[in-house]
């Protein structure tokens, strides 16, 4: 127990302290490209210089606030779309015959095991101007000129929903599988309509599954980099991409660190929420 504990402490917790430290330092034309926080001035005095400019910069340049707001919007809408596709799927799988259920579950898991990068790449082939979708629609005579789909917000949403859908279905299925379906029959015997029974019984009982699945989509989607970079085009402003560019293109390590810290502050409440939902789920299962 001590080994994984120390491992995570050193490689997961300590790094955040360093990110926090560097977010307060000055950018420097050196390797590594930042100035130390602590400096010996004179013989016996150590000076700490905290530089708040990186944060001030993030709040004055509208690009960053815009990217934050846009990331939250994209992640939130993608989560809703995942829910509206994933809920009926998880429900249907949970109610299927046991033999069929395992096959369907396997089919949900399979894409999750094949590379995300390759699955995102598949959408480039489908969506581009001479791509599969345009070719099919044109040969059917539905459209006469190719639609512009690649490098648009539409493509980015499709990519995110597509990639994160299994993350939503699996916890939701695990929750629905434990459900006592006799409750629904009882409700219908007592005169409830199917939709009413769903709304009053299934939905509230699957609340934890919905929340857990949604968090597994929402939290990583806010910081997503690969999908906006490949499908969203140059104007897709997502905070994960801004961080990446600050770091790799501008070599602005302190600014990238400040972005990471703000993103973390934004996401920590959701992570704690996810953990408490998980704890409730396992407690309920025992």
Residues 231-270 that bind other proteins (CB under 8 A): 240, 243-244, 247-248, 253, 256-257, 260, 263-264, 267, 270
Q: How far are the Cα atoms of 93, 192, 266 from residue 164, in angstroms, in the given order? A: 18, 34, 20
Return the bridge partners of 34, or none. 27
Q: Kindly write out the interface string for residues 145-164 of this chain, putting x where it contacts other proteins by CB under 8 A and - elsewhere.
A: -----------------x--
Of the ranges 37-45, 100-108, 141-149, 203-211, which one interacts with other proteins (CB under 8 A)? Answer: 100-108
216 class by beta-carbon count within 10 Å (0-12 exposed, 13-18 middle, 19+ buried):
buried
Cβ-based neighbours of 92, under 8 Å, separated by 6 or more: 104
- Please name the residue ranges forming H helices in the chain: 2-8, 14-23, 53-60, 62-95, 98-113, 116-127, 132-139, 153-177, 182-189, 194-197, 203-205, 207-222, 226-231, 239-248, 253-285
| Token code pair at residue 64 | 């960053």
The CB-of-89 to other proteins minimum distance in angstroms stands at 4
Q: Helix (H, G, I), strand (E, B), or coil: what is residue 151?
A: coil
Per CB under 8 A, the list member of 86, 171, 209, 228 interacting with other proteins is 86
Q: At what angle do helices 132-139 and 116-127 cross, to 10 degrees?
A: 30
The smaller minimum CB distance to other proteins, of residues 113 and 141, is found at 113
Q: Which is nearer to other proteins, 42 or 191 (CB)?
A: 191
45-84 positions binding other proteins, by CB under 8 A: none
Measured from the CB atom, the residue of 76 and 225 that comes closer to other proteins is 225
Nearer to other proteins by C-beta: 61 or 188? 188
Whole-number Å distance between alpha carbons of 176 and 127: 34
The tokens for 160 are 């995110």
| Size, binding site for other proteins by CB under 8 A | 86
Residue 93 within binding range of other proteins, rule CB under 8 A: yes
30 binds other proteins (CB under 8 A): no
CB of 1 to other proteins, least distance (A): 4
- Based on the shown chain and the rule CB under 8 A, indicate whether residue 91 belongs to the binding site for other proteins: yes
Binding other proteins by CB under 8 A: which of 117, 143, 186, 203? 117
**Minimum CB–partner distance for residue 153 and other proteins (Å):** 18
- Residue 246 beta carbon to other proteins: minimum distance, rounded to whole angstroms: 10
> Is 171 a residue that touches other proteins (CB under 8 A)?
no
Which SS3 state, helix, strand or coil, does residue 179 take? coil
Of residues 181 through 210, those in contact with other proteins by CB under 8 A are 194-195
- Of 47, 88, 196, 199, which lies in the binding site for other proteins, with binding defined by CB under 8 A? 88
Q: By CB under 8 A, which span of 37-45, 54-62, 122-130, 202-210 interacts with other proteins?
A: 122-130
Dist. CA 230–CA 232, nearest whole Å: 6
Query: What span, in angstroms and rounded, lies between the C-alpha atoms of 15 and 235?
Result: 31
């Amino acid at each position: 127990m001590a080994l994984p504990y120390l491992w995570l402490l050193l490689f997961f917790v300590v790094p955040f302290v360093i990110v926090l430290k560097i977010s307060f330092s000055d950018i420097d034309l050196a390797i590594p490209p930042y100035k130390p926080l602590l400096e010996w001035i004179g013989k016996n005095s150590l000076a700490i210089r905290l530089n708040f400019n990186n944060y001030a910069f993030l709040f004055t340049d509208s690009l960053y606030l815009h990217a934050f707001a846009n990331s939250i919007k994209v992640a939130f809408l993608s989560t809703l779309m995942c829910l509206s596709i994933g809920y009926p799927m998880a429900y249907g799988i949970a109610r299927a015959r046991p033999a069929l259920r395992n096959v369907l579950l396997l089919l949900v898991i399979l894409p999750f095991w094949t590379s995300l990068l390759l699955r995102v790449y598949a959408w480039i082939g489908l969506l581009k101007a001479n791509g599969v979708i345009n070719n099919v629609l044109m040969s059917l005579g539905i459209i006469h000129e190719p639609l512009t789909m690649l490098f648009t917000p539409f493509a980015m949403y499709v990519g995110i929903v597509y990639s994160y859908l299994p993350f939503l279905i699996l916890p939701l299925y695990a929750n629905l599988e434990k459900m006592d379906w006799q409750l629904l029959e009882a409700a219908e015997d007592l005169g409830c309509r199917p939709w009413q029974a769903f709304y009053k019984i299934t939905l509230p009982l699957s609340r934890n599954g919905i929340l857990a699945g949604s968090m597994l989509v929402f939290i990583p989607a806010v910081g997503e980099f690969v999908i906006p970079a490949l499908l969203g085009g140059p104007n897709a402003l997502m905070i994960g991409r801004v961080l990446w560019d600050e770091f790799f293109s501008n070599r602005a390590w302190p600014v990238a660190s400040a972005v990471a810290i703000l993103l973390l502050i934004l996401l920590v409440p959701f992570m704690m929420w996810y953990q408490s939902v998980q704890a409730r789920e396992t407690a309920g299962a025992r």
